[in-house]
Amino acid sequence: MRRLVWVWWLALALPVWAAQPVHARHAMVVTVEQNATDAGVAVLEAGGNAVDAAVAVGFALAVTHPSAGNIGGGGFMLVRFADGRSTFLDFRERAPEKASRNMYLDASGKATNESVTGYRAAGVPGSVRGFEHASKKYGRKPWADVVGPAVALAEKGFPVSYGLAKSLGGSAGRLGQFPESKRIFLRDGKLYEAGETFMQPEMARTLRRIREQGARDFYEGETARLLAADMERHGGLVTLADLKDYAVVERTPLTGTYRGNDIITSPPPSSGGPGILQMLGVLEGSGYEKAGAGSAAELHYLAETMRRYFADRAASMGDPDFVKVPLAALLDPAYIAQLRKSIDPEHATPSSQLHAGKPPGPESSETTHYSIIDADGNAVAVTYTLNFGYGDGVTVPGLGFLLNDEMDDFAAKPGEPNGFGLVQGEANAIQPRKRPLSSMTPTIVTRGGKLELVLGTPGGPTIINSVLEVLVNVVDFGMNVQDAVDYPRIHHQWLPDQLVMERGFSPDTIALLKARGHQVRMVGGMGEVAAIQARDGWLEGAADPRTEGTAKGY
């Protein structure tokens, strides 16, 4: 059930009533798209667990949310089991063997747009292998049952929503550069309108092979051969050997505490989990929350905390299989105390005067996130992506799915900004087989061993700060999960030196922030959080009113 988007703009800044989340007793699924949510709930009702539902949702979104849902990209899955165990599946894309450090620089040393658009922008996709790994190891339904809903959606079609119609039309410039993408997603110029049925027979055939043969088809079978051959024809880098060699990495989640809550979050190559833990550490004990949610004093402190982490992120973060990420030092209590002490409560610190810290010791904007809790109490948070909206724009003939442009998440030229304006260092330079640094931050919160909160969001580098803000809205300001998701957000990423603010804050608050020295830029919206809170025997699901997302349970 969706609430009208205009209510959010009217009620956010000074809410006089609480927006209500969707309530369910047993299980809950929150995604960005109704058909995908329905697919996840159907799998749960048929006896599947949260991992089964997560795989079904992931495949369904590849059909119904093509700007970010994918089998041609990659992502992260964070799982917290009912018995308290947790794990993190890294199925992030990987640089092909032919990738090289300076592959996106022209003769004068300037970065080109080849890391964003076209065949050379694609990394080796990980989603299909990741979903199969999760299903085999942690699911309980047959593989065909969890892939089946996506096959039906591609084969029979689904009604185009208003949001999808607008998204496809708005991406005509990108998709129209590639004949197969233009034919499938733009109907060769006869754009889809809301209410029309969108059928994808090529995608259906690909998904049927995956349903019958598993991930082997995508990485070694017909799908792999067609993909590799098309890459070779168009100067792409991904080969059959790259596909066959792709492997999921199962990592130990990062953990920390905040005001008595246990935080389970994403390890590198996510830069989000370290950021969440460092920023929560700076906030705890600062008293920032005493000024109240949405006050200039609270937002100033939050922005300064964000600014400091992103300075550290630029210098320290990368794929831990290739570089030493100084996690212990970045999260060292003494270093965090030093960061906290450096914040002036009355004045913004110019980013030109703030450089990456020297602690002691040795990510599209078009991503999507979904959160699931099953009847047994297992929780799954998945964030996966093509990077920019509709990835690199390429659809391989005969396969029906879009490819990622994840190579732009590397530092094409360390020290200079990428497509998101993020400055990144040597730790994230391009190397064959390396995974690019990501901002994706699936996160789970528990208290006293009991599940409390499951959340995440897309949004490029704004992901990290959006997750932080929803979390503290619940923990520090006592909001219900829907109000916490609805509340307006801010974002600071060190460089460029600007405080990005959603509309909904009062003019007086904005004026006070400018008086403190912040360079404010107003935007319409950031992120699309999908969150679930377990409270008082109920599951409360919150979809983001910034999107067409839905929460549904039973």
Counting every residue written for the chain, the total comes to 554
Contact 295, 273 (CB under 8 A): no
Dig out the tokens for 218 from the structure.
Answer: 């995508």
Helix crossing, 296-316 with 507-515: angle to 10°? 60
Pairing of strands 538-542, 379-387: unpaired
d(CA 514, CA 139): 51
Pairing of strands 530-535, 499-502: unpaired
Pairing of strands 22-24, 443-447: unpaired
Q: Residue 480: how many CB atoms within 10 A of its CB?
A: 18
Dig out the tokens for 350 from the structure.
Answer: 């110019």
Sheet holding 490-491, edge to edge: 490-491, 499-502, 520-523
Instruction: Give me the phi and psi of 249, to 5 degrees please.
Output: -115, 125
**Rg for the chain, CA atoms, rounded:** 22
Which residue's entry shows tokens 């600014």?
307
State whether residue 199 is helix, strand or coil.
Answer: coil
Instruction: Please pick, among 31, 223, 305, 367, the residue that the annotation labels catalytic.
Output: 367
Question: Catalytic site residue 206?
Answer: no
DSSP H stretches of helix in 139-254: 143-156, 162-170, 172-175, 179-185, 201-213, 215-220, 222-233, 240-245
Instruction: Give me the phi and psi of 304, to 5 degrees please.
Output: -65, -35
Contact 317, 268 (CB under 8 A): yes
Nearest-CA neighbor of 456 among 542, 369, 527, 539?
369
- C-alpha separations of 274 from 151, 328, 446 in Å: 37, 10, 18
Nearest-CA neighbor of 532 among 22, 37, 100?
22
Pairing of strands 366-373, 379-387: antiparallel
What type of residue sits at position 537?
G
Long-range contacts, 500-504 (Cβ 8 Å, 24+): 500/462, 500/526, 502/526, 503/9, 504/8, 504/9, 504/12, 504/13
Contact 499, 518 (CB under 8 A): yes
Q: Residue 189: how many CB atoms within 10 A of its CB?
A: 9
d(CA 445, CA 92): 23
SS3 content of the chain, % helix, strand, coil (to 5): 40, 20, 45
Ranges of beta strands (E only) in 253-310 are 254-258, 261-265
List active site positions: 367
